[in-house]
Amino acid sequence: MPAAAPAPSQDVKRKAAREVIDILHEIATLLNTRLDRQQLSYCVSLIENGANPEALANVIRQLREEYAVEYVSGEDVGAR
């Protein structure tokens, strides 16, 4: 990968990354994805490490389906 610029300082990088996350979070809210910031950051990391977005989306959906009750009501449904 060509180096675009001399390595920016860690602060700047971190700031840029944070901004990206911010924007993504906003878009996620707009699109009603129901991902909170934490989940989104994990997704981002997973994708950066090579996960396929479509697959990830499916997994999240599946998990939500199976354990959606907890998510909605916050109760502990142990039997599932």
* Amino acid present at 74: G
- What angle, rounded to 10 degrees, do the helices at 37-48 and 53-73 form? 160
Q: Among residues 14 and 67, whose Cβ is nearest to another protein?
A: 67
Shortest CB 16 distance to another protein, Å: 7
Shortest CB 8 distance to another protein, Å: 11
Q: Among residues 5 and 10, whose Cβ is nearest to another protein?
A: 5
Kindly state the tokens that stand for 56. 């990830």
Q: Among residues 14 and 55, whose Cβ is nearest to another protein?
A: 55
Is 44:50 a contact under the CB 8 Å cutoff?
no
